[in-house]
Chains A and B, each alone.
Chain A
Amino acid sequence: MGPIVQNLGLSTEINFLIAFLLGIGFGFVLEQAGFSSSRRLAGMFYGYDTTVLKVFFTAAIVAMAGLFFMNYLEMINLNQVYVHDAAIWAAAIGGIIMGGGFIMGGFCPGTSVSAAAIGKVDAIFFLGGLLLGIFVFGFFAPMFSGIISPEEGSYWFVDSHKKISDALGVSDSIFALLLIVMAVCMFVFGEWLEKKFARPDITKEI
């Protein structure tokens, strides 16, 4: 039963090897999808290329549905799976800052690594900026600790459930179904956008 590494007691080194192999798959798919092109990624926000929307939401619903099935078939113990748990305000503010970085830089960190791997110089500069941004954050880290780990009752504390389904008061499966329906609607919308805002001069270059 998964997670395999924990439940078979595999060594840290084997776990790192697994990480490396998963990373190869991750980088390969990102590049194959065209995420190594900043103009293709940015196309999402101008409508001429909505690959980001399609790939991102397809991946999210496939992995989510896969976890459901694995759980149902008792192949995985979901209690042992890490669920992202940033404080809500920290996730929101961090997300907003990252969104600015996305539209200015044209990449997100994962896609910039796969783009740098094929020689995109803009991606290499983005990665340099990424390291610089983390370094700068290091100086201000104490200032943000109240947002990142807010104490109960403080201004930044949101008393929320960890899972979105619990927060909305619906069952996991109902939420999953809703998300899949939403994703399909967005795919239809994305296809429409690509026709309406088509820019063959750009898409043939990327």
Chain B
Amino acid sequence: MLEKKKWKYMNPYFAGTLLGLVLLASFYFAGQGLGASGAGKKVVVTSVIAVAPGYAENSDFYKDFAASEHSPMYDWLVFQVLGVLLGGFLSGALAGRLTWKVERSPKISRRKRLIFAVIGGMLFGFGAQLAKGCTSGAALSGMATLALSGFVAMVGIFGTAFMLSFLFKKLWV
């Protein structure tokens, strides 16, 4: 084996404990859990207000932000997600995992993988607007605070992914 040995991933129970402690720290310091999709919404809102201010002022989805004195990017989750980007990068750099890569099953083309990545992202972005958050903001942070809607979202996400898994097996296995 000439290949340089990569740093292994962390034990999942240890990683889960650390993630739980980061989430707990978030509640303790800021009074709210962790999130991700909310920051995406702020990016969209900012772009739409910049490109089509007339549309934004008249749209239910954007008008409150268009009227606000602060930029939509002046937001807790936006800073938190910037941190995620840096934290992920630091971890990847330490572990020697920084490479450009399209991860896919050898059975599908890169193009197909990327098309499905976009479709998956779109569904996630759309669904998160309904559920007021994604796996982190709704499911994980919701469950830790015993929120009924957090448990409902969690069952919806994992249950549906599992039930549809036979249809998309070729993408992964």
Q: Name A's B-contacting residues (CB within 8 A).
A: 2-6, 12, 15-34, 36-39, 42-46, 48, 51, 54-64, 66-67, 70, 75-76, 80-88, 90-123, 125-138, 141-142, 144-145, 147-148, 160-165, 167, 172, 175-176, 179, 187, 199, 202, 206
Contacts and interface: CB of A to CB of B under 8 A. Distances in A.
Contacts of A32: 9-10, 15, 18, 91, 95
B156 interface: yes
Q: Specify the main secondary structure of chain B where it touches its partner.
A: helix
A74 B132 CA distance: 29
Nearest to B87: A27
Given A63-B144, A91-B156, A27 B60 contact: no
Given A4-B28, A46-B169, A107-B117, 13 more contacts: A3-B28, A20-B80, A27-B83, A59-B20, A82-B145, A83-B145, A90-B130, A99-B164, A115-B88, A119-B92, A126-B121, A128-B121, A134-B126
A112 B147 contact: no
The 8 lowest CB-CB distance pairs between A and B, nearest first, are A105-B120, A95-B156, A23-B83, A129-B121, A58-B16, A99-B160, A62-B20, A133-B125
B147 to A, nearest CB: 4
Interface string B7-29: 00110110111111111111111
A59 to B, nearest CB: 4
Contact of A109 (B37, B91, B118, B160): B37
Interface of B: 9-10, 12-13, 15-37, 40-41, 43-44, 48, 59-62, 74, 76-77, 79-92, 95, 97-105, 113-114, 116-165, 167-169, 171-173
